[in-house]
Amino acid sequence: MTDSSTGEDAAYGGRDPDALARRAGSRADPDRDQHFLVDDRVLDRIPGYLPDDADRSRLLEIGGGAGALTDRLLAAATAPSTAGATGDTAADATAEPGHVTVIERDGAFVDFLREEFAAAIADGLLDVVEGDALDVDLPPFSACVANLPYGVSSEIAFRLLPEKRPLVLMFQAEFAERMVASAGESEYGRLSVSAQHYADAEIVERVPKEAFDPQPAVESAVVRCTPRDPDYAVGDETFFLRFVKALFTQRRKTVRNAIRNTGHISGLDEPEAVVDAADEELLSSRPGTLEPAAFAALAELARERGSPTEA
């Protein structure tokens, strides 16, 4: 598909990422954690990683840059009555368009997105919000698809995960591997337990450095997070996540010693009381071998016996 000089005459979903970058007139700055995804094939696939039954009526993108993914999301967004309902490509092509919101902190790219996609904005299909995704109020959204700034990907992910919406997010590959790791694997840690508390997380595509301009120093991966309730209960989610964080600071210690050594992190006034009440087999384990459900049970015991202080 050929882009017009302004982009406004091009149907959504086919804008060339290199042409968009040229029109933007500003290169991505790696010192500002900016790397344009410029591989058309990867860009075309990313929206399709949303779960089949995901509501595509109000899509959120964080870090729009020059708009290559924004363009694909405008093509993928569909109204609630048909979003993900049929799986029939021909039928879905006739669906009413949904809405996309882009949060972008770089003022130059904000201005470009508003010019490039002026028609979509005028038609009520797109909003471009200027600001930092860690600070601005998140708009109502049904799913989020984004190539995140890697330097703040953890903070953004854990702002999005509690919203319990489908997520398709690009991460540094090492971060993605830790996010999806299972108990007993070397990558398993606080990130794994915390992410999997909110969702089923899976790597759906690995993306080489060459797919970006400028190229990052690391490989990347796309992670799909499908929200679901955990198969365990926690009485205080904030304490649970703080307790998990505390124990993983001592991942090479036994759980017994990790509880004893991290009361200042978990907020336990009486860690010894927790040790006295816990199962011996559990206490002899290492944090990296515990399933999320075991962490939850131990956290509940810690709340009951350890007199935790409020965060």
| pLDDT one digit per residue (tens) for the chain, 311 residues | 334 444 444 589 999 999 998 898 866 666 566 678 999 999 999 999 999 999 999 999 999 999 999 999 999 999 765 444 444 544 555 568 899 999 999 999 999 999 999 999 999 999 999 999 999 999 999 999 999 988 899 999 999 999 999 999 999 999 999 999 999 999 999 999 999 999 999 999 999 999 998 888 899 999 999 999 999 999 999 999 999 999 999 999 999 999 999 999 999 999 999 999 999 999 999 999 999 999 999 999 999 999 887 75
197 is in an annotated binding site: no
pLDDT for the residue 150: 87
pLDDT for the residue 54: 97
132 is in an annotated binding site: yes
Give residues with Cβ within 8 angstroms of 210, minimum separation 6. Answer: 39
How many other CB atoms sit within 10 Å of the CB of residue 51? 15
37 is in an annotated binding site: yes
How would you classify the pairing of strands 220-227 and 167-172? antiparallel
Q: Count of alpha carbons within 13 Å of 124, Cβ hemisphere only?
A: 5
147 is in an annotated binding site: yes
63 is in an annotated binding site: yes
104 is in an annotated binding site: yes
pLDDT for the residue 217: 87
Q: What's at 247, amino acid-wise? A: L
pLDDT for the residue 29: 63
pLDDT for the residue 9: 45
Single pTM value for the model:
0.89
pLDDT for the residue 39: 96
pLDDT for the residue 206: 98
Do the Cβ atoms of 17 and 38 come closer than 8 Å? yes
pLDDT for the residue 100: 98
